[in-house]
Amino acid sequence: MENYFEANFDGIVGPTHNYAGLSSGNVASLKNAGEVSKPKEAAKQGLAKAKSLADLGLVQGVLAPHMRPDLITLKRLGFTGKPSDIIEKAYKRAPEILAACYSCSPMWTANAATISPSPDTHDQKVHITPANLNNKFHRSIEPAMTAEILKKTFSDPNYFVHHQHLPEGGHFGDEGAANHTRFCTEYGDQGLEFFVFGKYGFDESKIAPTRFPARQTKEASQAIARLHGLNENKVVFSQQNPSTIDAGVFHNDVISVGNKNVYFYHEKALHEQDQAIAEIKSKFGEKPFYFIQVPESQVSVQDAVESYLFNSQLISLTPDSMAIVVPSECEENKNVQAYLKELVTMDNPINEVKVYDVKQSMKNGGGPACLRLRVCLSQQELTGVNQKTLLTDQSFSALNKWIDKHYRDEIRPSDIRDPNLMVECQNALDELSSLLGLGNIYPFQN
């Protein structure tokens, strides 16, 4: 069998990273609204995490940020004139719209797309569907640009099929890989794809959260499985526990994570959890599988939301062992710290904890797992990826220099009025697009 592995593509934090309080239901985003952000530090933290995983032997790539502010969207909303006029008018009349158009949310590439690897799909190609991110205005402006970046990154049509994002509107709300997990014994096996949704799009009588929005619908997950040509016997759909969404778990990757034959999840992660686990067991088949259920008595849902324990990356460092990559907030929570100590001694493949500081992203509700898009590839498919997007010693050093040259140390909420910020972002992305071999993908380049 061909050699398959899991690569990670991390989002580069953009030059306008800021705290605008845009995501209701995301506790950290609201709590830190209006704070001074540190874009340079944010971008370096993310990149350092990615490079560290590359140094462990994993294939690691990066995905480019989007141009901000999004002038095309501002124009669509009736702000006219030259770019500096558009910014000034929007700042005076609708600062909340300008802030949304300045968000660096594309950095959380777990929400960029859902990807099904070639062993799972009907034509043995890698299928990619960008998420429509309908639930939040600042995220709903991402899919078209994300699609362009993904096409330039996974560029060889012999291996990659790019679908259009699902139709806009709440019925098909889709947040990408944050609500999707793939189980397998070896990466090259036909995997079991596990989709977790927050609510039903077409049937409002069904159970749903009442306080905060559910961002993913069952109908969206089903559409992705159809588009990707997945085998029905190798797909499980399960509803996230609505009470956890109401407690601040706005994506499934804040309450569970899986890799290969391990599912690491909270006792309250899923609605009708026992049935979901039974279906995974029966569809996975006879081979060994580790279900690691974390009890509420040891780590509460609140602990999970505060520490982002489950927004970790489970990475395979040898065929039989895994490390868990957690944010440093896990060290600040006693219950989580105690649990992690126990986890690595239990009978399961996870035998190491790796801690990373991604605090700038965490303050907007994005942990290590939010910052990466997982792509299971064969060695041959890797040759069809734009090689300039892969992280090496050279590209890491070039990207750090690029950050030093273009990024501000700090951004205050009122800084979005400054047209120089836009110019700085354009200059930065112009240079980055050539560093990453993306061509002139940004609208201001044409």
| Residues known to be catalytic | 175, 251, 370
Q: How far is the CB of 169 from ligand SUG (least distance, A)?
A: 18
Q: How far is the CB of 142 from ligand SUG (least distance, A)?
A: 10
Asked if 249 is part of the footprint of ligand SUG (rule: CB under 6 A), the reply reads no
Instruction: Name the one range near ligand SUG by CB under 6 A: 19-27, 64-72, 185-193, 385-393.
Output: 19-27
Name which of 4 and 108 has its Cβ closer to ligand SUG.
Answer: 108
Instruction: Name the one range near ligand SUG by CB under 6 A: 63-71, 286-294, 360-368, 376-384.
Output: 360-368
Asked if 108 is part of the footprint of ligand SUG (rule: CB under 6 A), the reply reads yes
Asked if 269 is part of the footprint of ligand SUG (rule: CB under 6 A), the reply reads no
Q: How far is the CB of 202 from ligand SUG (least distance, A)?
A: 24
Name which of 135 and 333 has its Cβ closer to ligand SUG.
Answer: 135
Asked if 310 is part of the footprint of ligand SUG (rule: CB under 6 A), the reply reads no
Which residue among 6, 12, 14, 19 contacts ligand SUG (CB under 6 A)? 19
Which positions from 138 through 157 interact with ligand SUG, judged by CB under 6 A? Answer: 139
Which residue among 16, 111, 313, 333 contacts ligand SUG (CB under 6 A)? 111
- The two tokens of residue 332 are 């600040």
Q: How far is the CB of 133 from ligand SUG (least distance, A)?
A: 7
Round to whole Å and give the CA distance between 182 and 235.
Answer: 9
Q: How far is the CB of 147 from ligand SUG (least distance, A)?
A: 18
Asked if 364 is part of the footprint of ligand SUG (rule: CB under 6 A), the reply reads yes
Name which of 253 and 306 has its Cβ closer to ligand SUG.
Answer: 253
Instruction: Name the one range near ligand SUG by CB under 6 A: 219-227, 246-254, 327-335, 396-404.
Output: 246-254
HEC secondary structure over the chain = CCCEEEEEEEECCCCCCCCCCCCCCCHHHHHCCCCCECHHHHHHHHHHHHHHHHHCCCCEEEECCCCCCCHHHHHHCCCCCCHHHHHHHHHHHCHHHHHHHCCCHHHCHHHCEEEECHHHCCCCCEEEEECCCCCCHHHHCCHHHHHHHHHHHCCCCCCEEECCCCCCCHHHCCCHHHHEEEECCCCCCCCEEEEEECECCCCCCCCCCCCCCCCCEHHHHHHHHHHCCCCHHHEEEEEECHHHHHCCCCCHHHCEEEECCEEEEECCCECCHHHHHHHHHHHHCCCCCEEEEECCCCCCHHHHHHHCCCCCEEEECCCCCEEEEEEHHHHHCHHHHHHHHHHCCCCCCEEEEEEECCHHHHCCCCCCCCCEEEEEEEHHHHHCCCHHHECCHHHHHHHHHHHHHHCCCCECHHHHHCHHHHHHHHHHHHHHHHHCCCCCCCHHHC
Which residue among 69, 366, 368, 413 contacts ligand SUG (CB under 6 A)? 366
Asked if 29 is part of the footprint of ligand SUG (rule: CB under 6 A), the reply reads yes
Name which of 178 and 391 has its Cβ closer to ligand SUG.
Answer: 178
Q: How far is the CB of 26 from ligand SUG (least distance, A)?
A: 4
Asked if 16 is part of the footprint of ligand SUG (rule: CB under 6 A), the reply reads no
| Residues forming the site for ligand SUG (CB under 6 A) | 19-23, 26, 29, 103, 105, 108, 110-111, 139, 178, 250-251, 253-254, 364-366, 370
